[in-house]
Structure 1
Amino acid sequence: MPFSHTADPRVAPVGDPEPEVAEMLAKTLGDDRGVPLAIFRTMARHPRMMKRFNVLGGFFLTRGDLPARERELVVLRVAWRSGCEYEWAQHVLIGRRAGLTDEEIARVAHPGAKWSAADEVLLRAADEVLDRTDLSDATWAELAGRFTETQLVELVVLVGFYRMAAGFLNATGVQKEADLPGWPAGVAPEGDR
C-alpha cells in the first residue's frame, strides 16, 4: 500500500521550535533521551493540528475505556495492515507494556493465525473497519457481548484514528527512531503485498 518515496522524510521534523511549539512538544512522548518522538516533531509543522491530534491520541493511551492489551492488539493490526512501520514500532513497545507477548505481537502479522475467540473478534473488527468502513452484524454482536456501548464506540474510532495516523506517517515519510523494532522477521507488512 505505501508508495516508495524518492526522499524521506518528505516533511522534516522541527529542529529548533518556537517557544510555544517547544512547550507543546515537551508534553509529548519522547525517546530515552527525552527528545520528542519524530511523529510529534513532524506534526509540529502544523502546531494547531498537533495540539488536537495529541488530545485524541492521549485519550486513547491514558483515558480510554478499552483495556490496554486489547487496544494495542487493534493498533498493531492497523499498523501492519497500513504498512506503517513507524506506528508498528512504537506500538510494539506500548503493546509489551500493556501485556502482549513478543509471540502475540509477531502473530498479528500472520493472517489466519490462531487466536482466542476474544482476540480474534478484535482483529476481525479492525480488519472489517479497514476493509469495509463498517462492522458486520455478527462481529458487532460478538463485541457487544463483551464490551459496553462506550467501548464499542471507542473501538471503532480507535481503528480510524490509527489508520489516519498511519497515513500521515507514511505520506510524510516520518523516519522511526533508530532504536525501535522493525517488522517481525520474515513477514512483509500487508501494505507491501
Structure 2
Amino acid sequence: MTHRIEPARRPYEPDMEATLERLMPPGVEPLLLFRTLARSPRLFRRFMAGGLLDKGSVSLREREIAIDRACARCGGEYEWGVHVALFAEKAGFGAEEIAATVGGGADAACWSARERLIVRLVDMLHETSAVDDGLWSELKAEFSDEQLLELVMLTGFYHMVSFTVNALRLEPEVYAARFPVA
C-alpha cells in the first residue's frame, strides 16, 4: 500500500526548510507526515501550532499515555510508532506499557490509578465523543482544570492525526515501532 499524496520534495521554500530542520534531530529526514503536510504550508503551520508537544500541564508520561492510546484506538500505527520510538523510553514505558496502549485497557497492571483515569478518558472520548459525569468526577478529583483541558485536547488532536495518517496511508517510518502482534 502506498501513500495517497506525494510528500513535498527538496528544495522546500526557505522558511519551510528551516522549520523542518528544527523539528528533527540533525541528519534525520523530516517525517513523511511533515513532508506530506508541507505540500500546503498553511495547513502544515496550523497543524504544528496545535501539536501540544511542548512542556504542558501534564507529565511527559501522562501525555504519551493519552497520545499513544488515542492513536492506537484509531488504528494510527504510523503516529503511534513514531511516538513509541521517540518518547517511550523518556516516558518510562517498558514493553508492558507499550503493549497496554494498544491491547490493554485501563485495568492493565502497569498503570497507576491516575494513569488508569487517562486511559479511561481516552477510551470514553473515542467511544462516545463525550465524558460521562461519573468519570468526570473522578478526573476532577485527580487533575486540575488545565490538565483536563490538555488531556481532552491531546486526545482530539491525535484522533485528527490518526485520521490523517490513515487516510493518506502513510508507510511507517523505518525506525518507528509497530503495533504488537496479539
What TM-score, normalized by structure 1, do the two folds share? Answer: 0.85
2:83 and 2:15 map into 1 onto residues whose CA distance is 28
Please name the residue that 1:52 is paired with: 46
Please name the residue that 1:98 is paired with: 91
Correspondence for 1:26 among 18, 21, 32: 21
Equivalent position SS for 1:163? helix
Q: Structure 1: which amino acid aligns with 2:178?
A: G
The answer to whether the 8 A contact 1:12-1:42 is kept is yes
Correspondence for 1:82 among 67, 74, 99: 74
Q: Does 1:124 align with 2:120?
A: yes
The answer to whether the 8 A contact 2:82-2:173 is kept is no
What is the correspondence of 1:1-193 to structure 2 with a 5 Å cutoff? 7-16=1-10, 17-30=12-25, 33-57=27-51, 60-93=52-85, 94-112=87-105, 113-114=108-109, 115-184=111-180, 186-187=181-182
What TM-score, normalized by structure 2, do the two folds share? Answer: 0.90
Q: State the Cα distance separating 1:24 from its structure 2 match.
A: 2.3
Please name the residue that 1:3 is paired with: none
2:125 and 2:3 map into 1 onto residues whose CA distance is 29
Stretches of structure 2 that go unaligned for 5 or more consecutive residues are none
The answer to whether the 8 A contact 1:42-1:174 is kept is no
The answer to whether the 8 A contact 1:89-1:180 is kept is yes
Equivalent position SS for 1:26? helix
Q: State the Cα distance separating 1:98 from its structure 2 match.
A: 1.6
Q: State the Cα distance separating 1:34 from its structure 2 match.
A: 2.4
Q: Structure 2: which amino acid aligns with 1:152?
A: L
Equivalent position SS for 2:70? helix
| Paired residues, number | 177
Equivalent position SS for 2:178? coil
The answer to whether the 8 A contact 1:96-1:102 is kept is no
Q: State the Cα distance separating 1:85 from its structure 2 match.
A: 1.0
The answer to whether the 8 A contact 1:125-1:135 is kept is yes
Q: Structure 2: which amino acid aligns with 1:162?
A: Y
Q: Structure 2: which amino acid aligns with 1:107?
A: A
The answer to whether the 8 A contact 2:139-2:148 is kept is yes
Equivalent position SS for 1:96? coil
